[in-house]
Chain A
Amino acid sequence: MAISGEHLGARAGSAELLNGISLNVGSGEVLSVIGPNGAGKTTLLKILAGERRRSAGKLRIGGRHIEDWERSEISKVRAVLPQNSSLSFPFKVREVAMLGRGPHIRFSETRRDREIVGLALEKVGIGRLSERCFTTLSGGERQRTQLARVLAQIWERPENGERFLLLDEPTEGLDISHQHTVLETARELASEGTAVVAVLHDLNLAAQYCDKILVLKEGKQVALGSPKEVLRTGTIRDVYGIEAHISAHPKLRDIPLVVPIGAAGSNGSGRAVSAGAR
């Protein structure tokens, strides 16, 4: 297993943020982590990224304990897209993406590095912005620049072929077409043997693009399995406190479609109901 965690836990002071999370992500698999706000999704991703110490459990990446990786070594095969990134200096889009090549550059960037940056920018659809100043971009364009940086970092398959991509809400602030582009790109990397973990909020995006879904609530693991196994009316009610109708996707095979109805116990709400009541 490319990424495997057993009974992972995290604490902040006396508060327990995560407890007993076990997950396995193989090469070529996309796992999404879902759950309500404050469920510990980002904390889990930070543990996988080595940004945060876990208080319990075992974590192996590429078969090795996470502590056994050298910083310079793991940065060549593992890329992390943070939830929000700020940059207050006038770097160009191209320069920001080039930072992703940093772990591979010895002296100065080569033609290959520049080629990869160009391709990565094209991939996320901002090739035409490469000379623009990052600080003048819109939120979505910034997010995609950061994504291009992350892609450039693990663009090339390393010798043993294993790469790891961790995405924290990669679709945040993107329009619907770019949301799909981003996840298609993640899928594509997975098809080349990358293990991908993404924190997502949109259940239907998770269902459509991920092999497995891990559901968290209050730092505990509620469910882990294929979208079909996990996305059930009962689970969604338990975790989000919301009634949802689950049906088969009308166009895509074996993919559930989640249609939220309203807060649990309110037997549906919104305009339709209030209109009926009148």
Chain B
Amino acid sequence: MYEAARIRKNVNGAGGGTRRGLWRTAPARVLAFTFASPAIAILAAALIALLILAVGVGAVEISVPQIFAILASKAGITLPFAYEAQQESVLMAIRLPRVILGLFVGAGLAVSGALLQGLFRNPLADPGLLGVSSGAAFFAVLAIVLGDRFLQGAFAAYSSFGLPLAAFVGGTLTIACVYLIAKRHGSLDTATILLAGIAINALASAGIGLLIFAADDAQLRTITFWNLGSLAGATWQSLLVAVPLMVLPLFLLRNIGRQMNALMLGDAEAEHLGIDTERLKRRMVLAVGLVVGAGVSITGIVGFVGLVAPHLIRLTAGADHRTLLPASALLGSALLIGADLLGRTAVAPAELPIGVITAAIGAPFFLWLLLRKRRA
């Protein structure tokens, strides 16, 4: 409690100084912002520590000096720490892509959650809500069940891309559908987006159910595992497809914090404050579609990160989106990497699907929020 209060106080103090000259340049402002906001600095430090921990812990232990020695050797520098070839291959082929995937997907889900909560002006919104996740899931299941039949001969080589690509197409199609339905009467109506999302969710579930009915045993296993979410699918190849799609929205989101703050007052109020709300919402929806579609395409459905991360930030650092968005991204990464670490060490050598862990932690949290809201 004391810590939270102190963070809040410091955040307030952050804007207090005068910034002139050098401080006006963009990179300097980013740096100043990072260090001026303790919430972000603390989260960044915690995330780095967690990254190192997650890379080192597992069936094959790799110590911190060894991690640096292996990474340095890739850059042609030899550090005086001995490591085994097995450690190198585990780090480079398994752990590193996995942690990097967690980093991006966690950040993406958390930012998407914050964006959707802002879009709906409802702190209980989540990427699952728009139907993006289930739309992506439907297409992925479609690829699992029917993929082998179509990707034969010359196309067989591309089958590793089939699943992520299908999920991504599904997610983006869903968001486009929801958007177009909501947009039908000229302006983007929040209630309609919500209802369209619910309808598409139901439709996608029906489709998945139908495909499960048609699937064989091996396919069922894949579907189930994918539906529960996992970072195990991370390879450099899959990262190469998904990461650019998740980084792209950063350009859509630049300077969005202040505009989103104004949007919280209401559409008309934001317009009166000089903001083109249609354009702002379009940017937000597109960013969510890209990030969630690309993320879900490799990890499957991972729930609650998008809900929990922005909430925790709001409780400690306040609701200002200029802090909320970057801080949520950092916390989302940390949550997902942490959950993955837990999932693969708790019942080693077996692995718990990450979706099970995030749901087991996230669902009670969600209920707690609901109860708290009712009391207030």
User: Which residues of A are in contact with B by a Cβ distance under 8 Å?
Assistant: 46, 49-51, 71-72, 74-76, 78-80, 82, 85-92, 95-96, 99-100, 102-103, 105, 107-109, 111, 114, 131, 149, 153
| Interchain residue pairs with CB less than 8 A apart (15) | A49-B268, A49-B272, A74-B274, A75-B274, A76-B274, A89-B121, A89-B123, A89-B264, A89-B319, A95-B318, A99-B261, A99-B273, A102-B261, A102-B273, A111-B18
List of A residues within 8 angstroms of B244 by Cβ: none
Return A188 CB to nearest CB of chain B, in Å: 21
| B262 adjacent to chain A (CB < 8 Å) | yes
List of A residues within 8 angstroms of B269 by Cβ: 80, 82, 85
Return B191 CB to nearest CB of chain A, in Å: 14
**Which chain B residues in 247-304 approach chain A with CB under 8 Å?**
258, 261-262, 264-266, 268-269, 271-276
Task: Find out whether the CB atom of B24 lies under 8 angstroms from the CB atom of A153.
Answer: no
Task: Find out whether the CB atom of A91 lies under 8 angstroms from the CB atom of B272.
Answer: no
Closest to B310 in A: A89
Task: Find out whether the CB atom of A107 lies under 8 angstroms from the CB atom of B24.
Answer: yes
Task: Find out whether the CB atom of A51 lies under 8 angstroms from the CB atom of B271.
Answer: yes
User: Which residues of B are in contact with A by a Cβ distance under 8 Å?
Assistant: 12, 15, 18-19, 24, 29, 121-123, 258, 261-262, 264-266, 268-269, 271-276, 314-315, 318-320
Task: Find out whether the CB atom of A99 lies under 8 angstroms from the CB atom of B319.
Answer: no
Task: Find out whether the CB atom of B262 lies under 8 angstroms from the CB atom of A88.
Answer: no
Return B190 CB to nearest CB of chain A, in Å: 12
* A71 in contact with B276 given A88-B121, A90-B314, A108-B29 (CB within 8 Å): yes
Most chain A C-beta atoms within 10 Å of own C-beta, residue among B24, B274, B318: B274
In the complex, which of the residues A72, A91, A105 contacts B320, with contact meaning CB atoms closer than 8 Å? A91
Return A71 CB to nearest CB of chain B, in Å: 5
In the complex, which of the residues B266, B272, B275, B314 contacts A79, with contact meaning CB atoms closer than 8 Å? B272
Most chain A C-beta atoms within 10 Å of own C-beta, residue among B15, B24, B265: B265
* A107 in contact with B29 given A51-B268, A92-B318 (CB within 8 Å): yes
List of A residues within 8 angstroms of B272 by Cβ: 49, 51, 75, 78-80
Task: Find out whether the CB atom of B265 lies under 8 angstroms from the CB atom of A72.
Answer: no
List of B residues within 8 angstroms of A105 by Cβ: 258
In the complex, which of the residues A50, A87, A108, A131 contacts B264, with contact meaning CB atoms closer than 8 Å? A87
In the complex, which of the residues B18, B24, B271 contacts A71, with contact meaning CB atoms closer than 8 Å? B271
Return A214 CB to nearest CB of chain B, in Å: 22
List of A residues within 8 angstroms of B264 by Cβ: 87-89, 91
Closest to B121 in A: A88
A sample of 13 more A-B contacts (CB under 8 A), given A82-B268, A88-B264, A111-B18, is A71-B275, A74-B274, A75-B273, A75-B274, A85-B269, A89-B121, A90-B318, A99-B262, A102-B274, A107-B24, A108-B29, A109-B15, A114-B15
Return B337 CB to nearest CB of chain A, in Å: 27
Return B376 CB to nearest CB of chain A, in Å: 8
Q: How far is the CA of A131 from the CA of B274 in the complex (A)?
A: 26
Q: How far is the CA of A7 from the CA of B264 in the complex (A)?
A: 35
List of A residues within 8 angstroms of B19 by Cβ: 108
Task: Find out whether the CB atom of B29 lies under 8 angstroms from the CB atom of A102.
Answer: no
Closest to A79 in B: B272
List of B residues within 8 angstroms of A109 by Cβ: 15
List of A residues within 8 angstroms of B258 by Cβ: 102, 105
* A72 in contact with B274 given A87-B265, A107-B29 (CB within 8 Å): yes
List of A residues within 8 angstroms of B271 by Cβ: 50-51, 71
Q: How far is the CA of A56 from the CA of B19 in the complex (A)?
A: 49
List of A residues within 8 angstroms of B274 by Cβ: 71-72, 74-76, 102-103
Q: How far is the CA of A218 from the CA of B334 in the complex (A)?
A: 59
Return A24 CB to nearest CB of chain B, in Å: 22
Return B373 CB to nearest CB of chain A, in Å: 10
Closest to A111 in B: B18
Closest to B118 in A: A89
Q: How far is the CA of A183 from the CA of B69 in the complex (A)?
A: 71
List of B residues within 8 angstroms of A80 by Cβ: 268-269, 272
Q: How far is the CA of A78 from the CA of B122 in the complex (A)?
A: 28
Q: How far is the CA of A102 from the CA of B272 in the complex (A)?
A: 10
List of B residues within 8 angstroms of A49 by Cβ: 268, 272
Task: Find out whether the CB atom of B319 lies under 8 angstroms from the CB atom of A90.
Answer: yes
Closest to B259 in A: A102
Return B21 CB to nearest CB of chain A, in Å: 13
